[in-house]
Amino acid sequence: MKKQLFLLLGLGWACLASAQALFQQTSLYPDDHLSPAFHADRRAAFKAAMPARSMAVFFASQVRLRNDDVDYPYAQNKNFYYLTGLEEPNSALLLFKEPVTLGGKTSTEFLFVQARDPQKELWTGKILGVEGVKARWGWETVLLNSAFDPKAFPAAAIDTVLSLYQRETVLETYPRTRDALSQMATQLDQWLKAQAKPLAPSKTVQIMTQLRAIKTPEEIKLLEKATAMSCAGHNAVMAGIRPGMTEYQAQAIMEYQFKINGAEFFGYPSINGAADNACVLHYVTNKKRINNGELLLSDCAAEYHGYTADVTRTVPANGKFSPEQKIIYELVLAAQDSAIAACVPGNPFSITDVISRRVINRGLIRLGIAANEAEARQYFPHGTSHHLGLDVHDLGPRGNSPFQPGMSNGGTLGCALKTIF
């Protein structure tokens, strides 16, 4: 059960010597994506939690311009992906508590997608279109995004609209064009105002938090693969680190392992900080040369099919801790082990922070580094533990909410070394 509950703990405690065997594939493309049944089940669960006479709207992520005519790598909106599996832009999902008729089709769910475009596909690859989406996920009610028309929504039968689109800034547009996503969001915005329909973002977050907090066996497999890829990267850095290397060279070793094992992205910008740079919690410059006697903190993880790990490790550049470094390293290790032992169903989510902080504080006071717990706080200023999944800080209850089977827990305890050295 612990494996299902807390397979990631963000500290790499399950690091594997080699991840290669996990990622050998026999088909031309990866065939271990979440199944159509998974996404259908998640939509059904969301609809079951919707209030009566309500509609939910989820938009895909917008394509973002990086510079000139170059876009940022596309990353799908996580809630949209969770409910659909579709990784294309310019799409929208409508869910209804009760069946409605749109575009001549009666259902409780409608997916609006972009049309096939041979010229565009020549440059950026195949677009699934209506028929492709139907074939891939077994949808029956798929329409072109040009058919998205809020004026056709059954306004008299809708009391509440569940959506986060206004928080997600999908209304942003490029100076040179208005993309389909922005047009759909603008139409929805105008309809909501004209019909005086209330948005319920808090209820939307509440439902998604309840769903995404508990991982299914399918999700756990992807989390395990993301973790194994991440651990392969950390192991490679541990084996390859040498005085005189740069932080970005350590980053290159790390991210090479992610890619060679099939990761599509890294879960968050890679942090590789040596010496005092390790004291910057979200340091991502990664430019410094690593000198003899210094420690390198690597806070890096792979993302696989949308799911990310979170692993932090600190290693000596010359392969050997100094006596002082060893003392602090073992103190943090003791805090980690104590926190892991408390990760059992029924314990409050906050227990990992309470226990690890207690171990760290007492150790720092015993060593004479801090006079009291308040002073020790400056060496451990961040919290410990967060949910892991589609986001590195995934949705899920925190505080005194109890751990449940299927939860994954990513800790930031390893980052304590950032503020100690």
**Residue 22 binned pLDDT confidence (cut-offs 50, 70, 90):** low
Q: At 381, phi and psi to the nearest 5?
A: -85, -10
The model's pTM: 0.90
Q: Tens of pLDDT along 240-279? A: 999 999 999 999 999 999 999 999 999 999 999 999 999 9
Q: What distance in Å separates the CA atoms of residue 409 and residue 213, rounded to the nearest whole number?
A: 10
Residues 199 and 80: their CA atoms lie apart, in Å, by 18
Distance, in Å, from the CA atom of 342 to the CA atom of 359, rounded to the nearest integer, reads: 13
The rounded distance, in Å, linking the Cα atoms of 112 and 92 is 5
Greater model confidence, 290 or 64: 290
> What is the reported pLDDT for 7?
30
Torsion angle (degrees, nearest 10) of CA 184, 186, 192, 198: 90
Query: Which two structure tokens, joined as six digits, stand for 271?
Result: 């942090």
- Other C-beta atoms within 10 Å of 89: how many? 22
CA gap 44, 159 in Å, rounded: 20
CA 203 to chain centre: 21
Helices 129-137 and 36-49, axial angle in degrees (round to 10): 90
Q: What is the pLDDT of residues 315-330, one digit of tens each?
A: 999 999 999 999 999 9
| One-letter amino acid of 189 | D
Q: Please tell me the least confidently modeled range out of 17-26, 105-114, 411-420.
A: 411-420
The larger pLDDT score, comparing residue 112 to residue 15, is at 112
Residue 75 burial (CB count, 10 A): 14
pLDDT > 70: what percent of the chain? 89
pLDDT grade for 202, boundaries at 50, 70 and 90: very high
With CA atoms as reference, report the closest residue to 312 among 382, 401, 220, 394. Answer: 382
**Range name among 62-71, 90-99, 301-310, 321-330 with the lowest pLDDT average:** 62-71
Q: Which domains does the chain have, with CATH numbers?
A: 2-18+214-420 (3.90.230.10), 52-158+160-197 (3.40.350)
pLDDT tens by residue, 29-84 = 899 999 999 999 999 999 999 999 999 999 999 998 889 889 999 999 999 999 99
Nearest partner of 417 among 266, 320, 294, 270, judged by Cα: 294
